[in-house]
A and B are shown apart, each in its own frame.
Chain A
Amino acid sequence: GQQLNQSPQSMFIQEGEDVSMNCTSSSIFNTWLWYKQDPGEGPVLLIALYKAGELTSNGRLTAQFGITRKDSFLNISASIPSDVGIYFCAGLYAGNNRKLIWGLGTSLAVNP
């Protein structure tokens, strides 16, 4: 099935550093979603983006819907140990019965 190109695949950073990850697609989406998954749990929605160029924040997290509608970015500022986990992007076409297209995830490790 179709998947998004999510990068980087993994990151190992020091506590306090900023983090950036992105997703790209060959197709245009109407919605971009960012999720975080902790071990043994389901993905939890972090940020939803609905309009090209939209920039939305959730605490230390900021995500942007690319102008081309084919990409999205997630930034985490001043990382802390509880930011550890896997971050997934997902895109949604208009009118496809709401079937998400997923990236394979970015695994984030934070060294205290």
Chain B
Amino acid sequence: DAGITQSPRHKVTETGTPVTLRCHQTENHRYMYWYRQDPGHGLRLIHYSYGVKDTDKGEVSDGYSVSRSKTEDFLLTLESATSSQTSVYFCAISEPGNTIYFGEGSWLTVV
């Protein structure tokens, strides 16, 4: 157990609605990440954070925003959900020099 909690674990939402996924860690790790996982694409980095209020884009950041106001929480927001954002979303954490640990995932369906 890497001390990572994702919420919600499952969500169905309508196209055009805003959605926020939350990642909470109890390890006080500096780095936090949001990935999405889709068949044929593997794990793709959406955004990551290297400290409170310090974030940067990953390879598939369009349509997503993030915020990190506290060390323990990293929020992923879909401002206006689209069907292409139906996916499984994983949060991950790490410290410099150490490996990356994943949460259990959040299944999002946009209808």
Show the binding face of A for B, using Cβ within 8 Å. 1, 3, 31, 33, 35, 40-45, 48, 88, 90, 97-100, 102-105
In the docked arrangement, what's the CA distance between A45 and B93, Å?
12
Interface of A is mostly: loop
> Size class of B's contact patch?
20 to 34
CB-nearest residue of chain B to A2: B59
Contacts of A104 in B (CB 8 A): 40-42
Q: Is the CB of A42 within 8 A of B42?
A: no
CB-contact partner of A44 in B48, B56, B102, under 8 A: B102
Give the A-B pair count, Cβ closer than 8 A: 52
Q: Is the CB of A41 within 8 A of B99?
A: no
CB-contact partner of B42 in A33, A40, A88, under 8 A: A88
Q: Is the CB of B96 within 8 A of A98?
A: yes
Given the known inter-chain contacts A98-B31, A104-B42, A105-B42, please indicate yes or no for A42 contacting B48, CB distance below 8 A: no
Show the binding face of B for A, using Cβ within 8 Å. 31, 40-45, 48, 50, 56, 58-60, 90, 94, 96, 99-105
Q: Is the CB of A43 within 8 A of B94?
A: no
CB-contact partner of A97 in B40, B44, B48, under 8 A: B48
A78 to chain B, nearest CB (A): 26
Contacts of A35 in B (CB 8 A): 102
In the docked arrangement, what's the CA distance between A102 and B59, Å?
12
Q: Is the CB of B42 within 8 A of A99?
A: no
CB-nearest residue of chain A to B96: A98
Given the known inter-chain contacts A3-B42, A33-B100, A48-B99, please indicate yes or no for A99 contacting B48, CB distance below 8 A: yes
Q: Is the CB of A102 within 8 A of B43?
A: yes
Q: Is the CB of A42 within 8 A of B104?
A: yes
Q: Is the CB of B42 within 8 A of A98?
A: no
Q: Is the CB of B90 within 8 A of A43?
A: yes
Q: Is the CB of B105 within 8 A of A41?
A: yes
CB-contact partner of B100 in A1, A41, A100, A103, under 8 A: A100
Given the known inter-chain contacts A97-B48, A98-B31, please indicate yes or no for A42 contacting B100, CB distance below 8 A: no
B100 to chain A, nearest CB (A): 6
